[in-house]
Amino acid sequence: MNSPNLAVWTRELTRRFGPFTAVDRVNLAVKKGEIFGFLGPNGAGKTTLIRMLCGLLLPSEGEARVNGLDVYRQSEAIKQQIGYMSQRFSLYEDLTVEENIEFYGGIYGLSREKITAKRETLLQQLDLQRYRRLLTRNLPLGFKQRLALGCAMLHEPPILFLDEPTSGVDPRARRSFWEYIQELARQGKTVFVTTHFMDEAEYCNRVAIMNLGRVIALDSPLKLKESYRKSTMQGVFVEILHRTTPDLFASQEDRS
């Protein structure tokens, strides 16, 4: 169960907030080098799950290992192994582009020289040289997204958690983002990504679909489409949601 080939492994992983169960007995085994997609309606528990795997939130119950490390006891070590890009890219809006890179390099404990070298490579790779002294607040969203990804990868982690990295990003920028993700996977990085763009689900090796805290389906996009007899992932998603959401309007009492 703790095979060295697994980047992420969970067993009955659960997180409750008061009486509300945000993540409900989730079992996962994500292989190293895999692009693993996570789909689900708003409030399904995707972000809560990611935050537990990043060592940012303790589970209520169950087990989870990231690169073999235990999320209860080794959360600090996990942070060295992972890059995390949160939904609203956690950049400092009142710092310039290069200041953000330097700041994150510092947080990850990189040396001065290493930060300077990394900064220059990143600015070039991300095509951000002309924006280097611009306040991050004034950066177009597509560039913010690239910068956030770059900052999350400064310490060269083998595993990436990307929470809705392409929300609000235009079709061209999304394509170049995914080309980059594919390239990272080829280099052996594991990418764990959530999205609301159903075409992007197709670019993942496997996809898990979550609803109401539970993982309802987990397979390759092709197998999912076959087993739900749908021609698109959009079709699969809608079908699963309809099957697994009890009529929310039947009961008006609060779940929280």
Partner 1 sequence: MNAIEVRDLKKRFGHIEALRGMNFQVREGELYGLIGPDGAGKTTLMRIICTLVMPDAGEVRVKGLDVRQQRTKIRSLLGYMPQRFSLYPDLTVEQNLHFFAELFQVPEAERRARLEMLYHFSRLGPFKNRPAANLSGGMKQKLALSCALIHTPQVLVLDEPTFGVDPVSRQEFWEILHSVQKEGTTILVSTAYMDEADECDRVGLCFQGRIVAEDTPANLKRRFSYPLYRVRGSNLFRLQEFFRSIPTVHSIQMFGDVLHVSFTRQPRAADWQAWQTQTGGGLQEWKTEAPSIEDVFLEVLEEEK
Stretch that binds partner 1, among 52-60, 67-75, 97-105, 171-179 (CB under 8 A): 171-179
Minimum distance between the CB of residue 225 and partner 1, rounded to whole angstroms? Answer: 8
Between CA 45 and CA 218 the distance in angstroms is 15
Nearer to partner 1, 9 or 228 (CB): 228
Cβ-based neighbours of 165, under 8 Å, separated by 6 or more = 85, 145, 148, 149, 177, 193, 195
What's the maximum distance between 2 C-alpha atoms anywhere in the chain? 61
Cβ-based nearer residue to partner 1, 2 or 42: 42
Q: Report phi then psi at 124, rounded to 5.
A: -75, -50
47 binds partner 1 (CB under 8 A): yes
Q: What is the DSSP string of 117-149?
A: HHHHHHHHHTT-GGGTTSBGGGS-HHHHHHHHH
Give, in order, the Cα–Cα distances in Å from 9 to each of 3, 66, 217.
9, 7, 16
Q: Is 216 a residue that touches partner 1 (CB under 8 A)?
A: no
Of 77 and 238, nearer to partner 1 (C-beta) is 238
Closest CB 150 distance from partner 1, rounded Å? 16
**Residue 47 CB: number of other CB atoms within 10 A?**
20
User: In angstroms, what is the minimal distance from the CB of 199 to partner 1?
Assistant: 4
Please identify, among the stretches 93-101, 103-111, 114-122, 166-174, the one whose residues bind partner 1 according to the rule CB under 8 A.
166-174
Taking CB under 8 A as the criterion, the residue among 198, 205, 216, 244 binding partner 1 is: 198
User: Shortest Cβ distance from residue 73 to partner 1 (Å)?
Assistant: 28
Q: Is position 230 an interface residue for partner 1 (rule: CB under 8 A)? A: no
What's the half-sphere exposure (Cβ side, CA atoms, 13 Å) at 92?
A: 11
First to last CA, the chain: 34
Candidate residues 117, 140, 156, 223; the one interacting with partner 1 per rule CB under 8 A = 140
Question: Is 196 near partner 1 (CB under 8 A)?
Answer: yes
Q: Under the rule (CB under 8 A), what is the footprint of partner 1?
A: 17, 40-44, 47, 87-88, 138, 140-143, 164, 167-173, 175, 178, 182, 196-203, 221-222, 232-234, 237-238, 241, 245, 248-249, 251-256
